[in-house]
Structure 1
C-alpha cells in the first residue's frame, strides 16, 4: 500500500480529477435511486405500508384493485371465512375542491372499517368515527393543495361534502393522496352502487384461497399492477443499471490510461524484485480508496440535497439503500480495474528497462 499512497500523494491533480468524475457518477446513481424509491412509494404506499398481505379480487380484474367489484354476498362470504383477518375495502379515484372554490385536486377514496387493520395511523387530529358519514382522514400530501385540519372538501362527481378530521402519513395511491372514509360515507360517492372493490387479508390467510369467480393476489402483485407502476420503475431501474455500467467503463478507461503512462516504472519495479501480485494490489488499493472517498462525498451531497428538497418531490433514500448502492459502485470500480491489472501482468521487465533508458 506504500507504493499506492506515494503515487496518490505525488499526482494529486490527476487523481483529484478522477475523484471528481466518480463523485458525479455516484451522486447521479444515488439520486436516481432515491427518485425511483420515492416514486414507488408515492405510487402505492397505501398498499405497501398496510398490514394486508394480499387481496381477494374479481377474477377478470387483472389484479387491479380499481377494476375489481365484489358483490355484498361475496364480501360477506370472505369475511365469514377469515373473520378478523379479512377487511373489506372500497376504492374510488375522484376529484375534490373546497366548497365554492375552483382549485381541483385529484385524490383516491379508501372506504375502510375504522376498527379494522386497514384503518390508518393518525399523525394529527382524530380517527374516523365508526358511524361517521361526512368525515375523512387524509394523507398529509393533501396539505400541499392548501387543505388543513377541519377544512371541508367537496367531491366533484356527487357533490358530497366531507370534513377532514385527521391526517395520516405515507398513504398515497397512484400518485394521489388517499382519503379514508367509512363505508357509509363511501356509499354517497360510489359511482357503481353496491358492493366493494376487494377484501384485504392479513397474516397470509389467502395462500390457499379458492372461490368461484374470485382470485387471490398478494400485496406485491397488486402493487405491481397499479397503473404505470411497473413501467415507471422499469425505466428508472434501467437507468440505474446503465449508470453502473457506464461507471465501470469510465473508471476502466481512466485507470487503463494511468497504467499505460507508468509502464516503464512498473517494469523497473518488476526488474528489482517487485512481485506482480504486489503491483496488482497497489492498483486495486488505489481504485478502492478513490471509490470510497468519492462515495463519502457523493453520499453527503445526496443527503444534503434531499434535506432541502420540497415535500412535493418524491425522493426516498434510506441509509441501507445508500450503503447497498455504494457497495455495488465499489464492486463496479474494481471490475473496471481488471483491464489495468491485465497490463500489469504482461509487463516485460527487460523491455521496460530498455525503454526507460
Structure 2
C-alpha cells in the first residue's frame, strides 16, 4: 500500500488524468441514469406504483393494451374469485378548462379498488402537475366526447402515464366517452398467477413493455449507460497496461528482492480503488448538485439504490480492467525484466 501511494504521489499528473476521465465518465453515467429513472417514472408511474402482481389482456390484443377487451362475464368471475383484483382502462385524451385551454391527460377508470382513486359520476381527480397549470379544486372541465362536464375533486402526486398526467374518472363517464362497455385490463396482486382462459398474463415489468415508447426509450438509455461502464473498464486496462510496460524493469527488481506477484497486484488494485473511490464520490456530489440545479420540469430521479448499484459496478469493472492489465506481471522473469529495463 505504501509503495502504491508513493508511486501515485510521484506520478501525480498521470493518475490525475485517469481520475479526471473516470470522474467525467461516471458523472455522465449518473446523469443519464437519473434521466432514465425520471423518464421511466414520468412514462409509467401509474403502473410502477402498483404492487407486484399480474396483468391480464385479451389474447386477441397480442400484447397491446389499448386493443384489449375483457369479456364482462370473465371479469365478473375473476373479481368474485379474487376480491383484491381490479379491472381498469386507460385512454389518452384531453380536457378543456374554463378558458378553453386544452390539457393532455391519460383518462383512467377502474372497478372499486384501493389501488386506484375512487371518483363519483361527474368528478375528476388529476395529477398534481396540472395544478401548476392553473387548474384548481372545484374547477369545471369539459371534453368534446363527453356530454356533461367534470368537476375537479382533488389532486394526486406523481401519477403519470405515457408522459401525460393521469385523470381519474367514473366508469360510466369513461364508457360514454369511448363508447365501450368492456374494461381493457385485469390486475391481480400477488406472486401466484392463475391461468385465465382467453387472457394473456404479464408481470409488472412485462406490462410496462406494452406501453408505447417505454421499452425503446429505456433500452436506448440503458445501452448508453452500459457502454459508459464498459469504457471505464477499458480505460483502466489501457492505463495500467501502459504503466506496467514502463515499469517492467522495476517489477523485475522487486521480484528479485523477494516481492511476490500478489503484492504487485495489490498495489495496482489499491491505486484503482483510490482513483475510482475519489472519482465516484465527486460524481455523486456533482450529480446531486445537478439534481438541485436542473429545471423544475426535467424528469430526473437518481435514487440511493441506483447510486449504490452503479458505484459497485464501476468498482467491479475497474477491478477487472486493472487485473487484466496486470496479467503480464505474472509472466515477468526478474533477470529478463532487469535487462529489458536497462536497454
User: What is aligned with 1:85?
Assistant: 84
Q: Does 1:196 align with 2:195?
A: no
Q: Deviations over 1:167-204 (max 9, x none)?
A: 21232111111111222332342x22322222322234
CA distance in 2, matches of 1:105, 1:61: 29
* Displacement after TM superposition at 1:56 (Å): 3.1
* Displacement after TM superposition at 1:156 (Å): 4.1
Q: Does 1:222 align with 2:207?
A: yes
User: What is aligned with 1:119?
Assistant: 116
Secondary structure at the residue paired with 1:313?
coil
Q: Flag as ranges the 4+ runs of structure 1 deviating above 4 A.
A: none
CA distance in 2, matches of 1:160, 1:187: 13
Secondary structure at the residue paired with 1:200?
strand
* Displacement after TM superposition at 1:210 (Å): 2.4
Q: Does 1:261 align with 2:258?
A: no
Secondary structure at the residue paired with 1:220?
helix
**Residue 343 (structure 1) aligned to one of 312, 319, 328:** 328
Q: What pairs with 1:57-206 in structure 2 (closer than 5 Å)?
A: 57-82=57-82, 84-102=83-101, 104-113=102-111, 116-120=113-117, 128-129=118-119, 132-158=120-146, 160-189=148-177, 191-204=178-191
Report if aligned partners of 1:267, 1:348 keep a CA contact under 8 Å in 2: yes
**194-203 vs 295-304, greater mean Cα deviation:** 194-203
RMSD: 2.3
Report if aligned partners of 1:64, 1:222 keep a CA contact under 8 Å in 2: no
User: What is aligned with 1:209?
Assistant: 195
TM-score under structure 1 length normalisation: 0.87
Secondary structure at the residue paired with 1:100?
coil
For these two proteins, the number of residue pairs brought into alignment is: 342
Secondary structure at the residue paired with 1:111?
strand
**Residue 284 (structure 2) aligned to one of 299, 312, 315:** 299
* Displacement after TM superposition at 1:159 (Å): 6.1
Report if aligned partners of 2:98, 2:139 keep a CA contact under 8 Å in 1: no
CA distance in 2, matches of 1:24, 1:254: 16
CA distance in 2, matches of 1:52, 1:299: 30
CA distance in 2, matches of 1:55, 1:228: 19
Distance 1:51 1:284, change over 3 A: closer
User: What is aligned with 1:125?
Assistant: none
Distance 1:284 1:163, change over 3 A: same
**Residue 306 (structure 2) aligned to one of 307, 317, 321:** 321
Structure 2 spans left out of the alignment, 5+ residues: none
User: What is aligned with 2:271?
Assistant: 286
Q: Deviations over 1:22-52 (max 9, x none)?
A: 0001111122222222222222121121246
* Displacement after TM superposition at 1:144 (Å): 4.7
CA distance in 1, matches of 2:92, 2:236: 48
Secondary structure at the residue paired with 2:142?
strand
Distance 1:270 1:227, change over 3 A: same
Distance 1:45 1:216, change over 3 A: same
Secondary structure at the residue paired with 1:235?
helix
CA distance in 1, matches of 2:199, 2:38: 32
TM-score under structure 2 length normalisation: 0.91
